[in-house]
A and B are shown apart, each in its own frame.
Chain A
Amino acid sequence: MGNMGKLKHWLAANKAAQGGLLAAFILVTAGAVYGMDKSVVAFLLLLASLLLLYFTSFSNKIKWMAAGLLLIIIIPFATSGGSSYEAYMEVASQCGIYVAMALGLNIVVGFAGLLDMGFVAFFAVGAYTYGIFATGQANNFISGDMFPLSGGYFWIFILLGGFMAGIFGILLGLPVLRVKGDYLAIVTLGFGEIIRIIFNNLEKPVNITNGAMGLSSIQPPNLFGFQFTFPHQFYFIVLLILGVVIFAVRRLEYSRLGRSWKAVRENEIAAQSMGIPLIRTKLTAFAIGASFSGMMGVVFAAKQTFIDPTSFTLIESTTILVMVVLGGMGSVPGVILGASLVTILNLQVLTELTNWLNQLSSRGVIQVPDALSPSKMQRLIFGLILILVAVFRPNGLIRAKNRKVQLDQTDRSVKPNPISGQASGASSVNE
């Protein structure tokens, strides 16, 4: 305690100080990113300012405006200084894609309490929906030589990919009506594998997915003649969709549907006897979660211009699950944090560490065997995160909070019901 405690107290009370410190932090880190040629640390600190912003005590409106300012203007501008502009923007867009997917899975796992181990299948459905029609591939089963579609169709395909993934979500959801708990995890895992095997082999009798060869030279998006090719251009598309997704998730969480999801998660039978339609509630969770993933699948296909079944394996499904569990199941800010952390860990920290070790061993300082290179340790790290989080922090980094409801809105003098206060504290995921 002592001085640190006093400082904390003073900061918590003083909004101007918070704002000033945050602004200074952003200025310094943004300047560092702009000025230095490639500094991963500075870039990470700049991103961390979003997290700091979350912990300030400003009103939500101000926080959102500041976050928008950071994401739309400051980050793209700060990174544009050096030669590694595209590399930074690539990381940022991947981050956005994963955040949207993790938010989708969070609806299924976090809100509705249905463990889905095959979530990447929906991402694949979205990616292939665009990939098949934006290459010549569709000519194999639709006569008339109309394909590839031009990049202008990309914008329609975002919706279409989401819609297709939603349909697959409902298809996968159908077994849910009979199966729950651990069994559900296995069924979804099996479903994900089936989808992958089918995409991997659907080159005969009719060549639809081009099998293990994958689809290449997918048309880039096109808006009134403007071609999107570079990561910094995709960054804005990702940001736009992510904005829509976050808005939708926040509205859904406290809607009638969102409350039904949570009720089903806490106690299915009690929820049912309170008149919540079990089938519809679970199926909508699957469909909405899947459609977010499908939309980002379309963006992914357009950004990479190449997709093949190796991008949609079980490790990808687990990656998204790790994001949700690490951040905190059911907590929207937590999931955003978890997804960003895991993506940055994968794309920046592990690769940088590997490069550094490789340099050391090429200079002959130390010998690091190839088997131990950090970028190959993904599974080990994910596995450890899963175990450690499950054992020590089952609620994740930012635990989910239920919004407190003032029972008697007219009479302010009445204190909140102690029972409802307790219930909001115990918001862990129960079966």
Chain B
Amino acid sequence: MISSILQTLPQVLIDGLALGAIYAVVALGYTMVYGILELINFAHGEIFMTGAFVGTTVLFMFQSFGWLGGLPAWFSYLLIILIAMMVTGSLGVGIERVAYRPLRKAPKLISLISAFGVSFVLQDVVRFIAQLKTGNYIVTSDSLFSGRMTLDTSAISSVFGNASIKANTIIILIVAVLLMAGLDIFVNRTKWGVAMRAVAQDRETASLMSINVNKIVVLTFFIGSALGGATGVLFAQQYGTIDPYIGFILGMKAFTAAVLGGIGNIRGAMFGGIVIGILEMFASSNLGILTHGSFGAEYKDVFAFMILIIVLIFKPEGLFGRAVKEKV
């Protein structure tokens, strides 16, 4: 049993890392919005999904124009990601304006309900468009980088098997690290970042310090949603098949990652994402072996939700967060 788990371990770690990087970037979106408005933006998973669809659409358009042969692959990849980021960023800003801003002073329950509403509307609108254009809402996209190479992990020790790594996986890791590092620098080093942290600390005091709170909130939504959209493109490239309902379950897991790391904490979200990604891959490939076939990979989602519930019950502030004293 142990030996077969060890055999697959390098592959599990690599796949888990790629998935974890995706979770981490999506989790950043949850964390940023929560940090600034104390609102869980349920529609974030759907923004991610929209990003995946926008990216795939742009890719198809490039193909039909015959541009793909002319441009270097990395350049079209970059272009696709940038376009998806612009679209989803604006989408996020629009959602904030229509569904969240009117409710900023309303009870939390109400804004939560409107967030659920937005997520349903997005799912169906994307389904309409996809189904109208292609006849089927499950879309398969081509991969720009289809290369694959073998990592010779068995050379380290014979207990490990070899792992194979897609060129796409490497790109995901690089892009995710760039996005996360960029965000970290933006929030910690720039003037806008200081303003964002100030608003997150105390909205009213920040507005007294001549910070335009609405502008900062819009900026936060733009950046968070753009990150989500970029990850959507990465996801579509890595896994090939997308449908309008991927956002929900992935969003839930990214949210789990954000909670695990401490919601509102950017570095915690990155850490949580990687942990959840690796755990999920480990569970999906080894649950069957560990339980002698009684429970299989179909329980991997239960796994993620169990982590969520356990963390929320025993350490709601997360691994890196600080416990907040309740205001009376």
**Which A residues fall within an 8 A CB radius of B?**
109, 113, 115, 117, 175, 178-179, 181-183, 185-187, 189-191, 193-194, 197-198, 200-201, 204-205, 269, 314, 318, 321, 325, 329, 369-372, 377, 379-380, 382-387, 389-391, 394, 428-431
Contact = CB atoms under 8 A, between A and B. Distances in A.
Contact of B112 (A182, A187, A204, A377): A182
A194 B306 contact: yes
7 contacts: A178-B314, A182-B39, A193-B305, A269-B328, A321-B113, A384-B117, A386-B114
Interface string B272-296: 0000000000000000000001111
B123 interface: yes
B108 A181 contact: yes
A44 B121 CA distance: 27
B107 A429 contact: yes
Contacts of B293: 204-205
B301 A197 contact: yes
Given A182-B108, A380-B125, A386 B120 contact: yes
B114 A390 contact: yes
B117 A385 contact: yes
B231 to A, nearest CB: 20
B204 interface: no
Given A387-B121, A390-B110, 11 more contacts: A175-B312, A175-B313, A178-B312, A181-B108, A181-B109, A201-B296, A321-B113, A372-B128, A383-B116, A386-B116, A390-B106
A355 to B, nearest CB: 20
B99 A387 contact: yes
B127 interface: yes
Contacts of A186: 40, 252, 255, 259, 308, 312
Nearest to B244: A379
B91 to A, nearest CB: 15
Interface in B292-322: 293-296, 298-299, 301-302, 305-306, 308-309, 312-314, 316
Contact of B302 (A113, A117, A194, A386): A194
Given A197-B299, A379-B120, A387 B98 contact: yes
B309 to A, nearest CB: 5
A208 to B, nearest CB: 12
A413 B30 CA distance: 57
B40 A179 contact: no
Nearest to B291: A205
A383 B121 contact: yes
Contact of B313 (A113, A178, A193): A178
A369 B114 contact: no
Contacts of A179: 312-313, 316
B298 A383 contact: no
B128 A383 contact: no
Given A371-B131, A391-B99, A198 B302 contact: yes
Nearest to A378: B124
A390 B103 contact: yes
Contacts of B295: 201
A111 to B, nearest CB: 13
Contacts of B127: 371
A391 B99 CA distance: 7
A214 B213 CA distance: 53
A428 B121 CA distance: 26
Choose among B113, B131, B305, B328 the residue with the greatest number of A CB atoms under 10 Å from its CB: B113
Contacts of A387: 98-99, 114, 117-118, 121
Nearest to A392: B102
Nearest to B95: A387
A205 B116 CA distance: 36
Nearest to B127: A371
A198 B303 CA distance: 12
Nearest to A189: B252
B258 to A, nearest CB: 10
B77 interface: no
B120 A175 contact: no
Contacts of A377: 124
B294 to A, nearest CB: 4
A383 B112 contact: no
B106 A394 contact: yes
Contacts of A391: 98-99, 102-103, 114
A185 B255 CA distance: 12
Contact of A197 (B98, B107, B122, B302): B302
B309 A115 contact: no
Nearest to A380: B124
A429 B109 contact: yes
Nearest to B132: A371
B328 to A, nearest CB: 6
A314 B42 CA distance: 14
A193 B245 CA distance: 14
B279 to A, nearest CB: 15
Contacts of A201: 295-296, 298-299
A205 B120 contact: no
Given A178-B316, A186-B40, A371-B128, A386 B103 contact: no
Which 7 pairs from chain A and chain B are nearest by CB?
A: A386-B117, A383-B120, A371-B131, A383-B121, A390-B114, A190-B305, A380-B124
A7 to B, nearest CB: 36
B119 interface: yes
B246 to A, nearest CB: 14
B173 to A, nearest CB: 28
B141 interface: no
A182 B40 contact: yes
